[in-house]
Structure 1
Amino acid sequence: MNRFSQEKAPILEALNRYKAMRVVPFDVPGHKRGKGNRELTEFLGAQCLTVDVNSMKPLDNLCHPVSVIKEAEELAADAFGAEHAFFMVNGTTSAVQSMVMSVCKCGEKIIMPRNVHRSAINALILSGAVPVYVNPGMDRELGISLGMSLADVELAIKENPDAKAVLVNNPTYYGVCSNLKAITDLAHRHQMRVLVDEAHGTHFYFSEDLPMTAMEAGADMAAVSMHKSGGSLTQSSLLLINNGVSEGYVRQIINLTQTTSGSYLLISSLDISRRNLALHGKQIFHKVSAMAEYARTEINKIGGYYAFSKERVNGSTIFDFDVTKLSVHTLDIGLAGIEVYDLLRDEYDIQIEFGDIGNILAYISIGDRILDLERLVSSLSEIKRRYAKDKAGMLSQEYIRPQVELAPQDAFYAESESLPLEESSGRICSEFVMCYPPGIPILAPGEKVTDEILEYIHYAKKKGCFLTGTQDSQVNRIQVIREG
């Protein structure tokens, strides 16, 4: 019999007990359960402010859990099939960084796809680990980067037998999955740890019809964004560990960068959401998959748009596909994804997750309704009728293979100078340039600036992509390593 009752929510229960005690607070936070900031209380509600509390004996401590947080983490581990789960309140960014820093020390190699989220490359800057990049597959028709092929990972391992770990991005923002089980087995045969950025895969754990989870595949660690598809508050996440990875050591690594003032709003949202998914997740995500499939079918009936799905699976760089992701290719109606994104928001009051050069992504999850999806479909139909134009001159390239010259940490801390974009070709970049979302760098520290990359940046700016990462907020200049 399972010793864990998934109907329990230890942190929620502890907070309710604490509220009933009517304790007089002479601790932080200074708003004193909302009484000291009436405007904030009116905006967020007294229910919220009364549980925005500090760590204390009845409520445990996120940095060193021994009671209710410890129990809640054990319940989460059980629900996700892990040996241990850590509650993370600095976002999945912090979870990804903690994974990398737990297995790689300064100068040690880690094999990873180049289309990782910036958090993974930030971890290299913080730790001094050295990336061995595996270029992801490319879908030329859609202009998107895919997963890593097993053959490419095998070659990287063969050429770098001293690497400590392999990091897999699974699924990608678009829903593309690599052959996670085969990559994990391969890495383990070479005594390498397997880390999975599973930010967009929370729902995989609660459905037999969705792609394999990191824990099922036997991975050692996984970063899971509960707030993305699991229903918890923004910035709350889980870090899962497996295969005897040291809980105590990973906790020490987490505590290097995570706040000592963990928000009980975030912590309790993880506890409540875990319980909801453990009890009702299968029904929830069956419904989510059906809604996404309905929307995909209706969008493809419009013509011009292409809402892609499992028909793209090729057994390698698209080993599987997350059908809950409503990814739509837009170039055939003569509009960049970012242009459709802007039109949906500005003209139709619909906020989708992102638009890039060739695609849009509508994130469908536990809070969506068929009525809202019908509105999205009809708006896309109207956008095509009102704004479609000839697709001549549209840029489709979404991933440009980088020329890596230096390790990210070396480049980031090197002496640098600011140059106008047009004068930077051939120089080594010392900062990031990326479209956000999704936050995958176009350029990362240590990579050579090329004419192709500059063309892409200018095109992305012209089309209205939100470019970030540079010291120059206008992204007209770029930091490059000083020569000589």
Structure 2
Amino acid sequence: MENTEIDVETVVSHDGMPLTQFDTPIHKALEEQRLNRLAHFDVPGHKGGRGNKELREFLGEDTMRLDMNSMKPLDNLCHPTSVIKDAQALAAKAFGADEAFFIVNGATAAVQAMIMSCTEAGDKIIMPRNVHRSAINALVVNGAMPVYVNPGVNKRLGIPLGMSVEDVRRAIVENPDAKAILVNNPTYYGICSDIRSIVKIAHEHGMLVLADEAHGTHFYFGDNLPVSAMEAGADMAAVSMHKTGGSLTQSAILLTKNTVNADYVRQIINLTQTTSGSYLLLSSLDIARKNMSLNGRYLVNKSREYAEYARREINKLGGYYAFGIELINGDTVYDFDTTKLSVHTRDIGLAGIEVYDLLRDDYGIQIEFGDIGNILAIISGGDRNLEIERLISALSEIKRLHESEITGLFDHEYINPKIVMGPNKAFYSRKQPLLLRETKDRVCGEFVMCYPPGIPILAPGEMITQEIINYIEYAKEKGCLMTGTQDMNLEYINVVDEKGGN
């Protein structure tokens, strides 16, 4: 693996020493503690695995010994002053941010911290409706009000796209008191809005721009990819480092510019993030940042080449449509992430979730998700030629064995919502459970979504229409994992009690 264009610019550590992207402060401190033969009378109680031999045998002795608490030499995630502070400074430099915060509650916590640090109860925030549930969850908690910009929709694929700049401009003009704008960069399917133009318009009107970059970590390190949020001038970005950056699951980074008060953001993060940050997750962020800084260009370009090859070969099969840059229209699809392998399956008579299940059950291939019309395979520099060929061959076999008429298939993923009340008010209102088929024209009091991707079909405060009921019934029938409702079987939905009250 080759190192290319390595940034050797130094960062000054907490003790005045120079650090570069070759350094991993948290990793180094953990190694020193692992080797110093301390007698541990602190948590965790497994004491390096000696107190839980089965877990030690499963995860390995080294992993268990590195699972440590926030002792003085290891710093404290809630108030970093030494090695975590240094690691975060190196991450900020690597991503082109002014500050970086390590998150051990996933990009979900980073998205929520962004929203909660710039809005409070009653404040407006402009956002696309096809946001991840974490964004609307933040509104449920803090009482801010969404101003939704309906994304564009590709009618052939049935998927939501990005926000039109003119729609964003209109939302700003009609809501001059909004505090911020949230942008997906990119969507789950790899679609990007014109984030540079959105930043320019928002800043002209005194609004902050927040970017959900849960699926855009690699934008900071590869060639010929959409612009990253920090480069576009966004004020904050939530980066899910574990998805395409190589860290452990559940680890993420919140990036900020000096246009926001970083110390206040840290306080907001500490409202919900654990006080017992996992050093396994923290060190994985430290090491992954180093790896992406030194080798990211090679890894990301490799993943893009794999995805482009797979796209070409899958499209040769017929029936499938692995979509790419041809979708770019300069507006609702301003750019496309070519590392994403999104494949439309409806034209072979199969829902995406059916192809997902066939790949897993019959061919031993686990992809990221399948919805009612598409599948998504995440490609990274960790993949190999053999696995790419295996996926292509499996899709060919599935088409040969299972292709059928497309009659009766639901043809779109996104339904424009009708907002009746704010998410906070609806979620905490007095509610009553009704059978799904009886909820037409009632106000939803909870979330309904397929996971993945975790974009709500219904959010609290939205009107339940017959089209939405049909969509939910179809998704259930096809085997989508439905989440968000109090009823685990989704036979009932909690609707706002028409008598009102809390």
Q: Is the 8 A contact 2:223 2:301 kept in 1?
A: no
The residue number in structure 2 matching 1:406 is 421
Q: 2:25 aligns with which of 10, 19, 26?
A: 10
3-state SS, counterpart of residue 66 of structure 2:
coil
Tell me whether 1:436 sits opposite 2:451 in the alignment.
Answer: yes
Match of 1:257 in 2: 272
Deviation at 1:97, TM superposition (A): 0.2
Q: Structure 1 length normalisation: TM-score?
A: 0.99
Instruction: Kindly state the Cα deviation for residue 301 of structure 1 after the two structures are TM-superposed.
Output: 0.8
For the pair 1:294 / 2:301, whether they are aligned, the reply is: no
For 1:145, the equivalent position in structure 2 comes to: 160
Aligned partner letter, 1:249: Y
Cα distance between partner residues in 2 of 1:376 and 1:409: 43
Alpha-carbon distance, 1:366 to partner: 2.5
* Code of the aligned partner of 1:169: N
* Residue number in structure 2 paired with 1:93: 108
Deviation, structure 1 residue 3: 1.8
Instruction: Give 5+ residue unaligned stretches, structure 2.
Output: 1-7, 12-19
What residue in structure 2 maps to residue 57 of structure 1?
72
- Supply the distance in 1 between the matched residues of 2:263 and 2:301 (Cα, whole angstroms): 37
Which of 241, 248, 256 lines up with 1:241 in the alignment? Answer: 256
Query: Displacement of 1:244 after TM fit?
Result: 2.9
CA distance in 1, matches of 2:50, 2:263: 38
Q: What is the Cα deviation at residue 327 of structure 1?
A: 0.1
CA RMSD of aligned residues (A): 0.7
Are 1:231 and 1:366, in contact at CA under 8 Å, matched by a contact in 2? no
Range moving further from structure 2, 202-211 or 190-199: 202-211
Instruction: Return the TM-score normalized by structure 2.
Output: 0.96
Find the partner of 1:121 among 136, 141, 150. 136
Residue 201 of structure 2 is matched in structure 1 by: 186
- Partner residue of 2:285? 270
Partners of 2:347 and 2:58 in 1: CA distance: 44
* 2:403 is aligned with 1:388: yes
Shift, 1:246, TM fit: 1.1
What is the distance in 2 between the residues matched to 1:460 and 1:16? 48
Would you identify which runs of 4 or more consecutive aligned residues in structure 1 move more than 3 Å?
none
Paired residue type of 1:219: A
Give me the whole-angstrom Cα distance separating, in 2, the residues matched to 1:467 and 1:46: 38
Counterpart CA distance in 2 for 1:458 and 1:170 is 30
* SS state at 2:126 partner: strand
Percent sequence identity over matched residues? 64
Q: Which runs of 5+ in 1 are unaligned?
A: none
Q: Does the CA contact (< 8 Å) of 1:325 and 1:363 recur in 2?
A: yes
Code of the aligned partner of 1:412: F
Give the Cα–Cα distance (whole angstroms) in 2 for the partners of residues 172 and 78 of structure 1: 25
Match of 2:436 in 1: 421
How big is each residue's C-alpha offset from its partner over 1:437-463, in whole Å with a ceiling of 9 and x where there is no partner? 000000000000100000000111111
> Quick one: which of 14, 24, 40 aligns to 1:25?
40
Question: Matched residues in 2 for 1:291 and 1:3: separation?
Answer: 34
Match of 1:418, SS state, is strand
AA aligned to 2:425 is D
Equivalent residue, structure 1, for 2:478: 463
- 8 Å Cα contact 1:230/1:366 also seen in 2: no
- For residue 111 of structure 1, what is the aligned residue in structure 2? 126
In the TM superposition, residue 208 of structure 1 has moved relative to its aligned partner by 3.0
The answer to whether residue 82 in structure 2 is matched with residue 67 in structure 1 is yes
Asked if the contact 2:241–2:251 (Cα under 8 Å) also holds between the matched residues in 1, the reply is yes
3-state SS in 2 of match to 1:328:
strand
How far is the alpha carbon of 1:361 from its aligned partner?
0.2
Letter in 2 for 1:406: M
Match of 1:365 among 380, 387, 397: 380
Deviation track 1:219-259 (CA, whole Å, cap 9, x = no partner) reads 00000000000010000000000133111100000000000
Amino acid of the structure 1 residue aligned with 2:211: V
